Chains A and B, each alone.
Chain A
Amino acid sequence: MFDINIIRKDFPILNREVNGKPLVYLDNAATSQKPQIVIDSIVDYYSNYNANIHRGVHTLSQEATDVYEIARKKIQKHFNIKESKEVIFTSGTTHSINIVANGYAEILQKGDEIIVSAMEHHSNIVPWQMLCERTGAVLKVIPINSEGELILSEYEKLLSEKTKLVFVNHVSNALGTINPIEIIIEKAHSFNAAVLVDGAQACSHIKVDLQKIDVDYYVTSAHKMCGPTGVGMLYGKKELLNQLQPYQGGGEMIKEVTFEKTTYADLPHKFEAGTPNISGGIAFGVAIDYLNSIGFDEIANYEDELIAYATQQLLAIEGLKIYGTSQYKTSVISFNIEGIHPYDIGTIVDKLGIAVRTGHHCAQPIMEFYKIPGTVRASFSFYNTKEEVDVLVNAVKKAKMMLQ
């Protein structure tokens, strides 16, 4: 049973005030807030079983290793991943993407092609540009339509025998569009191209079965899923991850070291050089348990209702335009008011205790497409309420009155 009042009590930060007003946190696409149970798990680790993992024979190290590896199994189960060694702990989505991009530096030949979408976050564009510079591969871009959806017919035209990798986000951070990744994966596979999906923006709203969608690589960050910052996941099919060169050298990732040659450890350790973010990994597992205890169907139902209400209320404001109007969207409302700079709205709204994001949301190509300097982005989570939507709508009205 989804009870918003009980859920809100799980998040201590929701009690605080900002600028003398109760906090209305609508920047969930940047990072989610953390429930007490996640915060406690970090304190518990450092208070009771802090030790380095995977190497000590002493009890404390064994305890820490066990809990850390249980977290890996929780992630495996949540995403329905075949083997736990296909779950690589990383520092977050950007790190995960860079591991794959770095691995492809050895695989790509001059003239090979990588396809990315026009609605990517900068962290999804820059590594591939760097990779293309290194290898002589060519970057192709799937365009978007005015609703903020990928144009699949254009995508099909870009695919060819030269395509080696396709890269899309599951949900756009700037627009909220849910991309049809199953179709994208199927089409890419018909050309033997691998697909990497960035799930950072999706995973707190959608439970995804990675074996079912048959994706080759999937990446996400814990901090968008009620977990801590500085930890994330790289999933890759075992046979593909085995082909990739390690990204970083160091402890933990080696099997044997001599001055002549080092052999690398097996998965997942090959990509986990050095002491990992142990408490972060453990708390990531706790966050996944927490989200599942609420239930992803319940979360989706509640959030869809909230978004529909917010969309309706905001559109009632004269001159307000929403960017990203696909019927397949989640959690994000990106908007502007005619004749007013998004920065001005964001400034006034912040004074009223509301956290929204203004700017280009690290997705300048989208802003260029719509020919706007940026947007105001309100992004919602299951702990937001209709009352908070009303506070936002009134604040935007007030800002409009002051600024026009």
Chain B
Amino acid sequence: MNIKEIQEELIDEFSMFDDWMERYEYMIELGKSLPLISEEDKSDDKLIKGCQSKVWLHAELNDDTISFTADSDAIITKGIIAILLRVFSNQKPEVILNANTDFIDEIGLKEHLSPTRANGLVSMIKQLKLYALAFQTQLNQ
């Protein structure tokens, strides 16, 4: 599936819910099922600033795609991470850089995009794209 198809799939999944509570329950489930990352990857240099909850993001280049792993100490934040990783992990750097984030609005999580929420969704997306930019530069060398 390409990145657009993954986003469509997420929008489909979330359209099944009638209210915010079901959406949040699903996000909490996604958060709980997010694979744990190793303690050594929970270092301060992988911490994303600007989050009320802690978010660690780790990135690796495998051939020409980036795989992301991430964790948080808050479960709703982990749910958001799970959604982001499903979309952005194992994609090529240029795909990540060019991807838009309209799907977040469409799955009913727009409120988390406000910079004043301080939940770090905006910071997370920024950090994902910064990694993509760094790896793309590396690939072009």
Q: A351-B24, A402-B25 are in contact. Are A374 and B52 (CB under 8 A)?
A: yes
- Residue B65 is within 8 A (CB to CB) of chain A in the complex: no
Q: A351-B21, A374-B52 are in contact. Are A403 and B73 (CB under 8 A)?
A: no
Q: How many Å from the CB of A111 to the closest CB on chain B?
A: 35
Alpha-carbon gap, A359 to B24, bound state (A): 20
Within 8 A of B (CB), among A329-355: 340-341, 343-344, 347-348, 351
Contact of A341 among B21, B73, B118 (CB under 8 A): B73
Q: How many Å from the CB of A285 to the closest CB on chain B?
A: 32
Report yes or no: A343 in contact with B77, Cβ–Cβ below 8 A: yes
Report yes or no: B75 in contact with A373, Cβ–Cβ below 8 A: no
Contact of A402 among B24, B52, B54 (CB under 8 A): B24
- Residue A358 is within 8 A (CB to CB) of chain B in the complex: yes
Residues on A with beta carbons closer than 8 Å to the beta carbon of B25: 402
Report yes or no: A402 in contact with B74, Cβ–Cβ below 8 A: no
Residues on B with beta carbons closer than 8 Å to the beta carbon of A343: 52-53, 74, 76-77, 119
Report yes or no: B21 in contact with A403, Cβ–Cβ below 8 A: no
Residues on B with beta carbons closer than 8 Å to the beta carbon of A402: 21, 24-25, 28
Within 8 A of A (CB), among B52-110: 52-54, 73-77
Residues on B with beta carbons closer than 8 Å to the beta carbon of A341: 53, 73-75, 77
Alpha-carbon gap, A19 to B23, bound state (A): 15
Alpha-carbon gap, A374 to B53, bound state (A): 9
Q: A402-B21, A402-B24, A403-B28 are in contact. Are A344 and B75 (CB under 8 A)?
A: yes
On chain B, which size bracket covers the interface?
10 to 19
Residues on B with beta carbons closer than 8 Å to the beta carbon of A347: 24, 76, 119
Residues on B with beta carbons closer than 8 Å to the beta carbon of A359: 52, 118
Alpha-carbon gap, A340 to B78, bound state (A): 13
Please give me the residue from chain B that is nearest to A373 by CB atom.
B73
Interface readout for A29-70 with B: 1 if CB under 8 Å, 0 if not? Answer: 000000000000000000000000000000000000000000
Residues on B with beta carbons closer than 8 Å to the beta carbon of A348: 24, 76
Residues on A with beta carbons closer than 8 Å to the beta carbon of B28: 402-403
Alpha-carbon gap, A402 to B21, bound state (A): 9
Interface readout for B13-55 with A: 1 if CB under 8 Å, 0 if not? Answer: 0000000110011001000000000000000000000001110
Alpha-carbon gap, A248 to B53, bound state (A): 38
Residues on A with beta carbons closer than 8 Å to the beta carbon of B76: 343-344, 347-348, 403
Residues on A with beta carbons closer than 8 Å to the beta carbon of B21: 351, 402
Alpha-carbon gap, A328 to B92, bound state (A): 59
Contact of A344 among B20, B54, B74, B118 (CB under 8 A): B74
Alpha-carbon gap, A402 to B27, bound state (A): 11
Residues on B with beta carbons closer than 8 Å to the beta carbon of A358: 52
Alpha-carbon gap, A374 to B54, bound state (A): 11
Residues on A with beta carbons closer than 8 Å to the beta carbon of B118: 359
Q: How many Å from the CB of B124 to the closest CB on chain A?
A: 14
Alpha-carbon gap, A343 to B74, bound state (A): 7
Interface readout for A4-28 with B: 1 if CB under 8 Å, 0 if not? Answer: 0000000000000001000000000
Q: How many Å from the CB of A130 to the closest CB on chain B?
A: 22
Alpha-carbon gap, A373 to B20, bound state (A): 26
Please give me the residue from chain A that is nearest to B20 by CB atom.
A351
- Other A-B contacts than A351-B20, A373-B54, A402-B25, 5 sampled, CB-CB below 8 A, are A19-B20, A344-B53, A344-B77, A348-B76, A403-B76
Interchain residue pairs with CB less than 8 A apart (24): A19-B20, A341-B53, A341-B74, A341-B75, A341-B77, A343-B52, A343-B74, A343-B76, A343-B119, A344-B76, A344-B77, A347-B76, A347-B119, A348-B24, A351-B20, A351-B21, A358-B52, A373-B54, A373-B73, A374-B52, A402-B21, A402-B28, A403-B28, A403-B75
